[in-house]
């Protein structure tokens, strides 16, 4: 191509590309440019080998910084050139597309969520000191410049993070750049609790949407299972009958009209959860066994610690750390519904449990006044009300405990997570009415975020409620979505909001900074808003390509000011 190029500047670029690609990855990278190209080649090959969901680039600033510093000292690279190369790397990740998942997994919203390649910058080093470097800023600025849907971009923050780095990330978020914020102090403690060494926990990268893993040492099947907890409660209040399809689907836990106490309701819920977790374990074991036998990953196995030393492919348990992620769907609905049953039925004795079960089975038909009461007159998780938040804590603790009793095919643990990608929409369509006042088929709560429309006490109350949860035990990650009027926020105020939330133990938060008027205009004139990217759950997508239901769900999210 260079030989045919009349523009000498472009010809020189092409010769450089040829020289770099002739060298890596066969030989060790000898320059920053070669290192960036090598990372992309290795990343692409791993994607091709496995089918490519959530294979992530990890701590790109730590991996590439030694090459950047070497070339900078020699005068071979400038910060501007490094930013250009990082931007090009991000653009290349958008060329990777998971065709099989596009065709066969319709549950996620937005095609962009089918690869979720995460890049992570900032945070602590393995020595416990801040590892933020010049490339951390450059990598983040490059992402802000191109604003691509892929890669997903995570910013690690700790008490030792530079104030200007924290503020710069917040300013980008305020400007609509879709960043995740991760709390090192909470996540590192969580990974140690999960069995990691302290140094490995400190060197975590983010996988896919928001799942923390020790980079280079882990086969974490982080997005393996989407588990509908709200459906389990539906079955518990219907003696195992599916209210959408009308047949016995769960285990028979008794006619709810005979329940004498809230404990009877909880026991029914516990039996449904335990039954379906057992079904999940058996199913995923069969799947993992088939994968290990039929589609091993020799290339990926050669790229991480463990498989070579053990002589064992990573699909069989060769990695140092092995986990399987199980995401709880409808978390806020489950917590709010259980609290409503406890409070309204058994404490206040306003309704009978048999009547409530019948209203749910009939989707509130002719009982809309009861639906309105339960949706508007009963305390909800997310308002910093201890009585409602206590039920959310109970639901999360219970989920973590049930999963901890099982091991996966590769000898690792099932890690609980509370994030939903787009499955809170799909699974909501197959979930009957719930005691929090939700109608059958409505969307479920998104991750650990409170249900839409119930947060009456502002953003600090939401964060206080979330911080009460047993986040340390939710090893596979959580997503908290917040929506603000970006142009009206003072950056320091937003930074302080995140900082105090993290000091209270919050793990992760992400923002949409787009007003309702803009979203409505995009619905009416999609061709004018092709570049409008929104945060869906733990990933982003182009707004105009989402389904009507997904667009309305994003519009219905509470919008706050600080």
In angstroms, the CA 139 to CA 133 distance is: 10
Instruction: Lay out the sheet containing 481-483: strands in order across.
Output: 58-59, 118-122, 152-157, 180-183, 508-512, 481-483
**Is the distance from CB of 375 to CB of 438 less than 8 angstroms?**
yes
Q: How far are the Cα atoms of 374, 383, 388 from residue 378, in angstroms, in the given order?
A: 6, 12, 9
Can you tell me the distance from the alpha carbon of 401 to that of 274, in angstroms, rounded to the nearest whole number? 10
Residue 16 CA neighbour count, 13 Å, CB half: 12
Beta strand pairing status for 180-183 and 152-157? Answer: parallel
Helices (H), 306-458: 307-310, 331-340, 353-361, 368-376, 386-404, 423-429
From first to last of the 562 residues of the chain, give the pLDDT tens digit: 999 999 999 999 999 999 999 999 999 999 999 999 999 999 999 988 987 778 899 999 999 999 999 999 999 999 999 999 999 999 999 888 777 666 665 555 655 555 788 999 999 999 999 999 999 999 999 999 998 888 899 999 999 999 999 999 999 999 989 899 999 999 999 999 999 999 999 999 999 889 999 999 999 999 899 999 999 999 999 999 999 999 999 999 999 999 999 999 999 999 999 999 999 999 999 999 999 999 999 999 999 999 999 999 999 999 999 999 999 999 999 999 999 999 999 999 999 999 999 999 999 999 999 999 999 999 999 999 999 999 999 999 999 999 999 999 999 999 999 998 778 888 999 999 999 999 999 999 999 999 999 999 999 999 999 999 999 999 999 999 998 887 788 999 999 999 999 999 999 999 988 888 888 999 999 998 887 888 777 677 788 888 888 888 888 887 887 7
Is 422:108 a contact under the CB 8 Å cutoff?
yes
CB neighbour class for 560 (10 Å; exposed up to 12, middle 13-18, buried from 19): middle
Residue (of 441, 396, 427) closest to 108 by Cα position: 427
Tokens at 184, concatenated: 């090192």
- Coil, helix or strand at residue 251: coil
Closest CA to 93 of 31, 153, 181: 153
For residue 562, count CB atoms less than 10 angstroms from its CB and return exposed for 0-12, middle for 13-18, buried for 19 or more. Answer: middle
d(CA 182, CA 205): 10
C-alpha separations of 167 from 36, 137, 171, 494 in Å: 27, 11, 6, 9
Three-state secondary structure readout of 120-155: EEECECCCCCECCCHHHHHHHHHHHHHCCCCCEEEE
* Best CA proximity match to 304, nearest among 69, 50, 538: 50
If one counts every other C-beta atom within 10 angstroms of the C-beta of residue 239, the result is: 18
Surface-to-core class of residue 346, CB atoms within 10 Å of its CB (0-12 exposed, 13-18 middle, 19+ buried): middle
Query: Is the model's pTM score more than 0.85?
Result: yes
Q: Euclidean distance between the first and final Cα of the chain, in Å?
A: 54
Encoded tokens for 453: 């429309």
Q: Taking a C-beta distance cutoff of 8 angstroms, is the pair 127, 198 a contact?
A: no
List all residues 6 or more positions away from 416 whose beta carbon is below 8 Å from its beta carbon.
326, 328, 396, 399, 400, 403, 473, 474, 475, 476
Residue 248, SS3?
strand
Spatial CA neighbour of 242 closest among 440, 398, 445: 440
As a whole number of angstroms, the distance between CA 497 and CA 186 comes to 16
């Amino acid at each position: 191509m260079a030989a045919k190029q009349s523009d000498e500047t472009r010809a020189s670029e092409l010769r450089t590309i040829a020289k770099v690609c002739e060298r890596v990855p066969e030989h060790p990278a000898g320059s920053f440019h070669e290192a960036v190209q090598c990372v992309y080649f290795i990343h692409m090959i791993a994607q091709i080998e496995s089918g490519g969901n959530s294979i992530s680039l990890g701590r790109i600033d730590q991996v590439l910084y030694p090459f950047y510093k070497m070339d900078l000292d020699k005068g071979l690279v400038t910060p501007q050139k490094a930013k250009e190369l990082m931007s090009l790397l991000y653009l290349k990740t958008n060329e990777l597309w998971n065709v099989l998942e596009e065709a066969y997994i319709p549950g996620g919203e937005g095609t962009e969520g089918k690869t979720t390649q995460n890049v992570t910058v900032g945070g602590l080093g393995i020595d416990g000191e801040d590892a933020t470097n010049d490339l951390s800023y450059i990598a983040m600025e490059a992402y802000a410049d191109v604003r691509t849907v892929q890669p997903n971009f995570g910013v690690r923050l700790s008490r030792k993070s530079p104030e200007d780095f924290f503020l710069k990330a917040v300013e980008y978020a305020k400007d609509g750049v879709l960043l995740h914020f991760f709390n090192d102090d909470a996540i590192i403690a969580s990974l140690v609790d999960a069995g990691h060494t302290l140094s490995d926990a400190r060197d975590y990268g983010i996988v896919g949407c928001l799942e923390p893993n020790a980079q280079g040492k882990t086969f974490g099947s982080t997005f393996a299972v989407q588990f509908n907890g709200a459906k389990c409660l539906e079955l518990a209040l219907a003696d195992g009958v599916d209210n959408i399809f009308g047949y016995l689907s769960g285990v028979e836990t008794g006619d709810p009209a005979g329940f004498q106490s809230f404990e009877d309701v909880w026991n029914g819920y516990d039996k449904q959860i335990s039954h379906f977790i057992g079904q999940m374990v058996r199913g995923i074991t069969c799947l993992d066994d088939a994968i290990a036998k039929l589609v091993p990953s020799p290339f990926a196995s050669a790229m991480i610690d463990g498989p070579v030393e053990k002589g064992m492919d990573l699909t069989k348990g060769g990695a140092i750390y092995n986990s399987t992620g199980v995401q709880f769907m409808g978390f806020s609905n489950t917590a709010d519904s259980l609290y409503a049953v406890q409070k309204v039925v058994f404490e206040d004795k306003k309704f009978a449990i048999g009547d409530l079960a019948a209203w749910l089975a009939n989707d509130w038909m002719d009982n809309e006044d009861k639906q309105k009461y339960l949706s508007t007159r009963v305390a909800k998780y997310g308002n910093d009300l201890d009585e409602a938040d206590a039920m959310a804590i109970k639901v999360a603790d219970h989920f973590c405990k049930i999963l901890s009793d099982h091991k996966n095919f590769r000898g690792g643990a099932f890690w609980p997570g509370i994030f939903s990608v787009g499955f809170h929409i799909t699974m909501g369509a197959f979930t009957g009415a719930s005691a929090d006042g939700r109608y059958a088929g409505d969307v479920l709560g998104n991750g650990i975020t409170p249900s839409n429309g119930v947060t009456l006490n502002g953003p600090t109350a939401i964060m206080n409620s979330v911080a009460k949860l047993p986040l340390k035990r939710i090893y596979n990650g959580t997503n908290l979505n917040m929506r603000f009027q970006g142009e009206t926020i003072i950056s320091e105020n937003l930074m302080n909001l995140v900082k105090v939330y993290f000091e209270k133990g919050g793990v992760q938060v992400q923002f949409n900074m787009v007003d309702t008027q803009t979203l409505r205009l995009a619905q009416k004139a999609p061709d004018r808003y092709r570049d409008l990217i929104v945060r869906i759950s733990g990933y982003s997508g182009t707004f105009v390509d989402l389904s009507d239901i997904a667009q309305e769900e994003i519009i219905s999210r509470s919008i706050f000011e600080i």
